Amino acid sequence: MKKALLSFAVIIIMCSMQIQKPVKVIFFGDSITRAGVTPGGYITLMQEALRGKTNPEYELIGAGIGGNKVYDLFLRFEDDVLSKKPDVVVMYVGVNDVWHKQSAQTGTDPEKFIAFYTAMIKKLQAAGIRVIVCTPAAIGERTDFSNAQDGDLNRYSNIIRELARKYSCGLVDLRKAFLDYNLKNNPENKESGILTTDRVHLNPAGNKLVADLMIKALSEK
């Protein structure tokens, strides 16, 4: 009887110690996301920080393409996201939708931005996939709102915040986080070099900040 009880206890302990299936997370976005998987990129930093420290562990996959806007994400959504059957999708888009209005006259109107973004959220949630959305961080780091695209970035960030509220998505408010960080660490009101290399793409400090915020968002249920 004692041997049977001992064997049963061992089985229970072994079952409780089994490693669960990794949580598959896809980061869906533009060149900022593409750079995230390079050495020192925010996705790489997340992998290093999370490895061996969670059960289940996380499988982090970058799906970023340079120059992408929300419409481009929508076009490759089935192949690059849904077909991979992720547990979580982090959507980080919006910079090019704003930036390309001025640089190439190919930006995205707010109404179309909402329509494509909403369609992807609904498809993900219908498939039982957790959605985390991110506001576009910066096109210039000046803190006096003299960056040319500040107005549009704020407008599109508000759109994403409202979509997060409406559809109960996780939210990484990078727009607010970058502004708060620059208010504390950019006393000379520099256009870049605080969190970005070129007003948009992340430097080491920017990657570290984004990685920390993403890890926090993943841990929230």
Q: Considering the domain boundaries, does residue 112 fall inside one?
A: yes
- The CATH number for 154's domain is 3.40.50.1110
The domain in which residue 63 lies consists of: 21-219
User: Which pLDDT tens digit goes with each residue over 71-91?
Assistant: 999 999 999 999 999 999 999
pLDDT tens-digit series, residues 169-191: 999 999 999 999 999 999 999 99
The arithmetic mean of pLDDT across residues 25-48, rounded, is: 98
CA torsion through residues 164, 123, 38, 197, sign: negative
Domains identified in the chain, total number: 1
**CA separation for the pair 134, 174 (Å, rounded):** 6
| Tokens representing residue 180 in the block | 């708060």
Q: What is the pTM of this model?
A: 0.89
What does the block give as tokens for 182?
């620059």
Q: Determine phi and psi for 42, rounding to 5 degrees.
A: -65, -35
The answer to whether residues 108 and 68 touch, using CB atoms and an 8 Å cutoff, is: no
Does residue 3 form part of some domain? no
12 domain-assigned: no
Token pair of 164, please? 């997060």
Per-residue confidence (pLDDT) for residue 1, from 0 to 100: 53
